[in-house]
Structure 1
Amino acid sequence: MRHYKKIREKYGPEVLVAMRSSAIGEDSIHFSFAGQYKTQLKVSAEALLDTYKKILASKYHASAVVYRTQKGLRDEDIVMCVGCMVMVDTRVSGVAFSCSPYEPKTPCLEIYATKGLAENIVQGKQEADYYKICKTTEKVIEKRLVQENQPVLTEKEIKKLREQILKIEKHFGCPQEIEWGITQDDRLFILQSRPLLLYEEETEEDICLEIEGKEVLAESGISIYKGVACGKAFIVRTDLDILTFPEGAVLVVLEPLPKWATLLKKACALICEKGHPATHLAIVARELKIPSLFGVKDITTKLKNETLITVDCTRKKIYLGCCESLLKTQIPQSNFMIHSPVYKIFKKITDLILPLNLTDPDSPFFKPRYCKTLHDIIRFCHEKAVDAMFSLGIDLDLTEKKAKRLVSKTPGSWWIINLKDGFKETFDPKKKKITLEEIESIPMKAIWEGMIAKPWEGPPPLDFKGLGSVFFWSTMRPELDPALAFEPREKNYVMVSKNFCHLGMKLGYHYTTVEAYIGEFISENYIYFYYKGGGADPERRLLRIEFISEILEKIGFYTVIRLDALFAHIEKNPAEDLYQRLKVLGYLLMHTRQADMIMSNPSLANTYKKQIYEDITHLFGGNLGLDTNFFHIN
């Protein structure tokens, strides 16, 4: 209040002030908070304190909280302050861009202007005159007026604005978005300047792409953020509509009001019937990288809710239905949270949690002192716990409870532990070894039937680039020895009961878990499958994972791929159906080994895939209901 008294002393007791938020980080290049906090103009002395409190409280407006969360900012990252300035009585005001946000390489600046205060321009409630001006020649390249032949700016005012805009850009050293005002006595005031967010210019290929056979619903507007999206239209007119807006829909609005920003991350695209790039909603849409079109005439009357549309904001067109060819042109967007405090914290945390360095239990480095991450600690503890479980009885002479070594022609060293009724009653529990014929577990027998259905003939035909990739990635992971990677030296464990099997398998660089229950009640039956790793580079490992996923999906599994890991499951199916699918899994465990080495060679990969398809169809197709054309090479 002491400083406000000084303002009154200088400008008189009836002076009005403008009060606005001034939070830490607000109006920066990555966090504009455009329109999310409260600004109040023409504040009198009586309303000063009440307005101050409301602006402080606007930190917790619903739209501001949603924006902050979407941008990866914590509550403690935002400290709210309030700026208080003498009100400028403007005759004309507006917003200027020191270069075009959409054509940053073009030497032009843009000005939006209206009579009176610019508040209605940035809030999307009022249209504005538009001027596109050459930076070097002062020439007005383009002009669009709200009222024909009645510009709100004179040539002299345009020249003065251009000079100040260029000075401000030079001062800050980067493109700026500037709010300005011209008073009744023709004085120019710069009210605010913040960094201007730009994006790449369109290429000729972007502009010229044509789509045939699709109805064009609209072909106009201003591209606020280029890109392509497909979804069902949802027209938002009231606050109640906000509550019912569905995930992944196209947000369609009449005016670009700041409050619609709360829906942007749920929307796949944004269409506004009115508006221009200077509005707060346009600024936030660019920040969040949401494909957006503004100024699409009569679009709220042309569209109906639930209508499937494709929005092409690069070429400024809206199509009826889904244009898959257009969606393929969409470039994946970078992570807009990458500069946020939350992202940086999680980056530090994940570096201490996720990486796995202890991969080989037989390595001399598989010791507690080599644990560098939480993942390493969990892996080490798990391995030692499993070792202890399967070694049960060595010290206590509990021979009957010890794991039994499986006598089998399958690669690897297999150790079986009987949880309950997994072995035949005639099996002598004092024996140290067991054969397949002495195992009673239904899921395990199914897996092994698949494993031995066709003998493994060794790795696919050699691809030297793939082999080189294996050796290179082995040098990146010193705990893996490429000379030993394919030897059956690892212990693989299986826990069984009559209806249950849990298999943990490591062959070379590949890690696999299969868990299954096959019983009398369909509701209890399931198969879970996990597959990860490989000796080749990430691209080849991913290609193999996608191939395995494709096969499993065709026989009824639900699959998810994360990096080079595959998760698959199938549940609540009859016992015989799951039995047959376990046989396919067993076959894949044996015959997809080392396939990652050839996956980037189309000729070798197709030959290999064809053989796998033929084997599955021939060996298991009859019981799975597959015909000879069920699998095919694209």
Structure 2
Amino acid sequence: MALLKYLQRLLGREQPSEPDPAELALEEELKVRLRERCARFRRLLSANKRALEAMSEVEDRLSGAKPFGMDYVHAVSTRAVTAVFQMVRDLNALSDNSYAALQESFDRIRAEMEILLEELPHLDGPLILHLDQIDLSDLTLVGGKMANLGEVAANAGLTVPDGFAVTVSAYYRFMEYNGLQQELNRRIQATDMQSLDQVFSLAAALQKAVLMAPLPPELEEAITEAVENMRAKAGPGLKLALRSSAVGEDSLGVSFAGQYRSELNVPPEEACEVWKEIIASKYAVTAMSYRYQHGIPDDAAPMCVGVLAMVPAAAGGVAYSRDPVAASRGREQILLNAVSGLPQAVVDGAVTPDVFIFSRKIPPELIRKRLAGPEGTPPSLTDKQAAELAKVAIALETYYTEPQDVEWALDAEDGRIVVLQSRPLHAADSATEQSHTDHQRPGEEGSEAFALEDLPQGLKVLAAGGVAVSPGVGMGPVFVARKEADMLSFPKGGILVVERALPRWAPLLSRAAGLVSETGGMAGHLASVAREYRLPAVFSLPDACLLLDKADEATLDARRCAVFAGRQPQLVSIEAEPPNLMEGSPVHQRLQALSQLMVPLNLLDPDAPEFAPDHCRTLHDITRFCHEKSVRLMFEEEDADASRRMGKQLKAGVKLQYWVVDMGGGFRHRVSGPVVDLEVIASAPMLALWDGMVAVPWAGPPAASASGFMTVMLESTMRPELESTAPNAMANKNFFLISDNYMILQARYGYHFCTVESLAGEKSHENFVNFQFKGGAADRKRRQLRARMVADLLEQHGFRADVKDDSVFAVAEGYSAPETLMKTRLLGYLLIHTRQVDMVMLETERATALKNKMLADMEALSAKPLMGCTL
């Protein structure tokens, strides 16, 4: 208070030519205090930027297609909380702890976020459950595959193999016994899951750790005893099938098709060791990549294993109760894929199966069939057997009340159809398929046929034929992959071409534009994953690797089952949005819940009684409160006129008011009166900014169209600015804090706010200039377009820019002092020339012309030497 009274007295009377030494000492003390307060204010603004960036990132991740894991959820939450904590601490330091209640609101929000980030404890249960003890209520204990198999056996009246489940409780017991979970979590969190080479290294290490770990004695005893009971029932010839049944498989809106391991024809005495191999498959490259891309954390997918008696299969395969591609076009039919022997060859995509298509009438009628073997080779199923299988598919759909994907085997001993698995069917997205209905031939049925007529002229066909297993059109460089190591070289946006449609190629599908295989069919695991990713895919295309080996850019049209040379965008009538694979997943849901404690803004009116600490319900509320109060503390102090008393009014012959606070070295000499001339300013960054502000005369607001004009408040946008010495309600928003090589401007022009901060010293690694810009008086869409335009202009001049709604955050750092000052000058130009242009942003031609003019002006400014702001 003594300093303030001194400053009031100092600025209220004529100064002597030789100031009193005591007064000079007090003035220097005031500058020290200002520098300390400015340092806190700078930290608060920096934390505000980090907090808003984290919140913006959260919104982008929730609405976008980019995958993320729980490590990201923890990291972004920590970043937001840490930044807001810094703001609360600095605000209370600036205000002599006037907002202690704000800490209480922050602690409450942080505690709620910590609860959401906690890992849920797992429930204990039996280590072993026989299949006749299992139904859908045991989903969290035995996983979707075994729960559905038990349900089919108990309630659907269909035949399933004998067997039991080694439960999720056994998985947790194994992990705890060896202390594995913490080590696995640590390694997963330390890995960039979008880097395939890192994922390969991680997979090798994690699988080795699992395979080397011993089983708890009680678990080994339980598995051995259950296997012996099966052998006593089946006789000495018993062979086992050990199949993964992870929790979340088929129940989180994703299929996990082929992502985990199954082992067939396992001798009973090897059951314990093979059980570990199935557990280890959870950490295979395919499985980890798939979980990450679908937002399923490791702890949300504990592994159960089904131990089943092998079926002596005469034939096997997959039955779809509805064709997953044709159903999206309204032609509902049953699709059966079959091979002689075990069904594994169908689901693994290793061979091209026999295909039977039935109507959904009761009883089903055979529409047509396509046999894969050479002429004269007997089919895998007779028509009568295929019709019985179609009835099974219909029965399972009726029971579950949704389309089913059924794995089956035909028992060679008694001719019965044995259900090995039934899960919800993932059909092709109808929007993706829409662009191909125009090319269908009259009377064409199913997804097997292809047509090349009615094509635009001049297209070169590189390869044609096969089966469209996932619709769509994809364009990109062709990449033929023959071995697993080729995965590391696959280009983003490429068309993947393989000899066999094996599940191991699944990690590449999120990066691919299309998929072609020489083998495989609609029912293969890789086909299911392609449909989940809405990836155009054609299987069983003869000699695809040979035909496409030397191809460069190409277009895959899955509906026509053809690959054309070059990019052919005219074949795409509707551009399908990439799927958000994360939506609805555990990780997505967790971030969604956390975002409700971070992102919503409830404190809107700074003058309302509710603008108070105890009304802060989110981190965004706290950032808004801290920013508003810190600006007032810095520039309005104890009453409405304090900002004038803390600084000097700038005299520069302009109509906008600016106040300048010198923290030391910002003026060329001591200024005794209430006004400072521009010629006295010694701050290089401020002079650079000012040079940009006046370099090109502002022509005034652009003439708006009627619609643009109606979105703007007339008094705010069209009122002439006041003379610099006249009273101005907005004056307290336009402040420079300066030193010789530093400047921060806090300004408000009508309805938009901006902050510019610049440090241009001798050490390049410390230099920076950053810019925050928000608001406007037009509607939200126009303000958003202006923000994007500003960001584009800055990015072309070396800034890193982020846009959030109508806000821009831009920074350029690490440049030399002259380069930093040049970039600061460009910001000065933008401050003046982006005013009120939001009114015309929906008028494409005018907006483009305006942007081009600004770009030309900025290019011209960049070529001119700086005036009056040398270091």
Say whether the 8 Å CA contact 2:240–2:266 is kept in structure 1. yes
Q: Secondary structure at the match of 1:223?
A: strand
1: distance between equivalents of 2:465 and 2:691? 63
Shift of 1:341: 0.8
Match of 1:170 in 2: 398
Structure 1 residues 564, 433: CA separation in 2 closer, same or farther (over 3 Å shift)?
A: same
**Equivalent position to 1:199, from 428, 452, 456:** 428
2: distance between equivalents of 1:527 and 1:305? 49
Matched residue type, 1:92 = A
* 1:86 lines up with 2:328 in the alignment: no
Q: Secondary structure at the match of 1:47?
A: helix
Shift of 1:85: 2.4
**Equivalent position to 2:749, from 467, 489, 507:** 507
Shift of 1:142: 4.4
Q: When you count helix as a share of all residues, which structure comes out higher?
A: 2
Say whether the 8 Å CA contact 2:760–2:821 is kept in structure 1. yes
Q: Which runs of structure 2 are paired with 1:476-625 in the superposition (5 Å)?
A: 488=730, 491-517=733-759, 527-552=769-794, 559-569=801-811, 582-600=824-842, 602=843, 606-607=845-846, 610=849, 613-614=852-853, 617=856, 622-624=860-862
Q: Secondary structure at the match of 1:40?
A: strand
**Equivalent position to 1:426, from 669, 694, 699:** 669
Say whether the 8 Å CA contact 1:234–1:305 is kept in structure 2. no
Structure 1 residues 178, 310: CA separation in 2 closer, same or farther (over 3 Å shift)?
A: same
* 1:143 lines up with 2:359 in the alignment: no
Matched residue type, 2:830 = L
Q: Which runs of structure 2 are paired with 1:27-66 in the superposition (5 Å)?
A: 27-28=250-251, 30-66=253-289
2: distance between equivalents of 1:266 and 1:608? 35
What is the TM-score of this pair, normalised by structure 1?
A: 0.83
Q: Which runs of structure 2 are paired with 1:313-462 in the superposition (5 Å)?
A: 313-323=558-568, 329-358=574-603, 361=606, 365-390=610-635, 402-407=646-651, 414-423=658-667, 425-428=668-671, 430-453=672-695, 456=698, 459-462=701-704
Matched residue type, 1:203 = Q
2: distance between equivalents of 1:572 and 1:30? 46
1: distance between equivalents of 2:528 and 2:735? 57
Structure 1 residues 236, 621: CA separation in 2 closer, same or farther (over 3 Å shift)?
A: closer
Q: Secondary structure at the match of 1:73?
A: coil
Say whether the 8 Å CA contact 2:736–2:746 is kept in structure 1. yes
Say whether the 8 Å CA contact 2:519–2:539 is kept in structure 1. yes
Shift of 1:69: 1.8
What is the TM-score of this pair, normalised by structure 2?
A: 0.62
Greater relative contact order (Cα < 8 A, sep 6+):
2
Shift of 1:259: 1.6
**Equivalent position to 2:484, from 198, 215, 239:** 239
1: distance between equivalents of 2:786 and 2:238? 73
Aligned residue pairs total 607
2: distance between equivalents of 1:334 and 1:399? 53
Match of 1:631 in 2: none
Matched residue type, 2:275 = Y
Matched residue type, 1:492 = N
Shift of 1:160: 1.0
1: distance between equivalents of 2:569 and 2:771? 32
1: distance between equivalents of 2:546 and 2:285? 29
Say whether the 8 Å CA contact 1:29–1:195 is kept in structure 2. no
2: distance between equivalents of 1:33 and 1:405? 67
Q: Which runs of structure 2 are paired with 1:290-305 in the superposition (5 Å)?
A: 290-304=535-549
Structure 1 residues 612, 57: CA separation in 2 closer, same or farther (over 3 Å shift)?
A: closer
* 1:189 lines up with 2:453 in the alignment: no
Shift of 1:222: 3.1
Matched residue type, 2:580 = N
**Equivalent position to 2:346, from 121, 132, 139:** 121
Shift of 1:327: 7.2
Say whether the 8 Å CA contact 2:354–2:369 is kept in structure 1. no
Shift of 1:569: 4.9
**Equivalent position to 1:106, from 331, 347, 350:** 331
1: distance between equivalents of 2:516 and 2:435? 24
Structure 1 residues 326, 574: CA separation in 2 closer, same or farther (over 3 Å shift)?
A: farther
Say whether the 8 Å CA contact 1:580–1:620 is kept in structure 2. no
Shift of 1:155: 1.6
1: distance between equivalents of 2:375 and 2:476? 37
Q: Secondary structure at the match of 2:381?
A: coil
* 1:133 lines up with 2:372 in the alignment: no
Shift of 1:282: 1.5
Matched residue type, 2:434 = T
Moved more, 318-327 or 191-200: 318-327
2: distance between equivalents of 1:510 and 1:189? 69
CA deviation map 1:518-564 (0-9, x unaligned): 56788876544443333444432232233334444556656554443
CA deviation map 1:146-195 (0-9, x unaligned): 23343222121122112121111111111111111112232111221111
Identity %: 36
Q: When you count strand as a share of all residues, which structure comes out higher?
A: 1
* 1:275 lines up with 2:520 in the alignment: yes
Q: Secondary structure at the match of 2:689?
A: helix
Structure 1 residues 594, 482: CA separation in 2 closer, same or farther (over 3 Å shift)?
A: closer
Say whether the 8 Å CA contact 1:29–1:197 is kept in structure 2. no
Structure 1 residues 400, 8: CA separation in 2 closer, same or farther (over 3 Å shift)?
A: same
Moved more, 459-468 or 75-84: 459-468
Shift of 1:254: 1.4
Matched residue type, 1:126 = V
Shift of 1:581: 5.5
Say whether the 8 Å CA contact 2:730–2:748 is kept in structure 1. no
2: distance between equivalents of 1:447 and 1:326? 51
Match of 2:504 in 1: 259
Shift of 1:576: 6.8
Say whether the 8 Å CA contact 1:30–1:287 is kept in structure 2. no
Match of 1:74 in 2: 297
CA deviation map 1:405-459 (0-9, x unaligned): 4346667654433344332x2241x544434333223332333334345665654
Matched residue type, 2:650 = L
Match of 2:467 in 1: 222
CA deviation map 1:315-359 (0-9, x unaligned): 544344444556794221231111111101101111211234446
2: distance between equivalents of 1:276 and 1:590? 62
Structure 1 residues 143, 500: CA separation in 2 closer, same or farther (over 3 Å shift)?
A: same
Q: Secondary structure at the match of 1:46?
A: helix
1: distance between equivalents of 2:436 and 2:350? 35
2: distance between equivalents of 1:87 and 1:506? 76
Q: Secondary structure at the match of 2:835?
A: coil
Say whether the 8 Å CA contact 1:207–1:315 is kept in structure 2. no
2: distance between equivalents of 1:349 and 1:248? 33
Moved more, 437-446 or 554-563: 554-563
Match of 1:477 in 2: none
Structure 1 residues 300, 193: CA separation in 2 closer, same or farther (over 3 Å shift)?
A: same
CA deviation map 1:278-325 (0-9, x unaligned): 111121222233333323332322345893444444554434444455
Say whether the 8 Å CA contact 1:20–1:40 is kept in structure 2. yes
Structure 1 residues 330, 27: CA separation in 2 closer, same or farther (over 3 Å shift)?
A: same
Match of 2:320 in 1: 97
Say whether the 8 Å CA contact 1:34–1:280 is kept in structure 2. yes
| Unmatched runs of 5 consecutive residues or more in structure 1 | 472-480, 627-634
Moved more, 459-468 or 16-25: 459-468
Say whether the 8 Å CA contact 2:787–2:807 is kept in structure 1. yes
